[in-house]
Amino acid sequence: MARKFKKIIVTVFDKMQNGYKYELTESVGENFQKDFRPDLTPKQMLALGVFGGKYMTDCRGEFPSDWFVKAKLSSEFHNPKLNYFGVNASSSLAIWRKKGWIHKEDPRGWFQWYCRYYMGRRLEQEDIRQIKRWRSIIRHIAQITMNCRPGDLICRQKQRQAVLHWAYDSRKI
């Protein structure tokens, strides 16, 4: 028997969205598209260290507080030392916008989309687009696999950090 889920409306008030509303239609961390199986949850990613710690500093009210207990964050500036591999593997938001990767629903990009998807928001066309982008990261995993000994976390650290930003656990490659 299917479990009944009570739909929830989330209203966002942060530096990039003021009054944006979306609906959660799935349970947290469940009912992902069958070809979307990330290795890491948003909470795990934040605890490992992603995006120089700058990404989620003003979004605490939108997501569960336990995501931020061990999160490596920097409200002042992007700090690559907070990344798991200690290197900068990010492009600027301006570059993301120029390349057309940013859409109005998620002005911070893929990770914001993933956090909201994980929480239960579904936007059919945007989900298809973002999952396609996520799947394309497999090329970087192939490069790490071809050029590094298994478990050699010193090899291709920038690429490993970039892969980690996409919820692939590059520590296991």
Per-residue pLDDT of the chain (173 residues; tens, 9 = 90+): 555 667 899 999 999 999 999 999 999 999 999 999 999 999 999 999 999 998 888 999 999 999 999 999 998 889 999 999 999 998 877 887 888 878 899 999 999 999 999 999 999 999 999 999 999 999 999 999 999 999 999 999 999 999 999 999 999 99
Predicted pLDDT of residue 65: 96
Please state the domain extents for the chain.
8-172
Predicted pLDDT of residue 3: 58
Tokens for 111, please give them.
């990770």
Predicted pLDDT of residue 100: 82
Predicted pLDDT of residue 119: 98
With 0.85 as the threshold, say if the pTM is over it: yes
Question: How many Å apart are CA 101 and CA 27, to the nearest integer?
Answer: 27
Predicted pLDDT of residue 93: 76
For the chain, give the secondary structure using H, E and C: CCCCCCCEEEEEECCCCEEEEEEECCCCCCCCCCCCCCCCCHHHHHHHCCHHHCCCCCCCCCCCHHHHCCCCCCCCCCCHHHCCCCCCCCCCHHHHHHCCCCECCECCCHHHHHHHHHHCECCHHHHHHHHHHHHHCHHHHHHHHHHCCCCCCCCCHHHHHHHHCCCCCHHHC
Which residues lie closer than 8 Å to 26 by C-beta, 6 or more apart? Answer: 5, 120, 121, 122
Predicted pLDDT of residue 56: 81
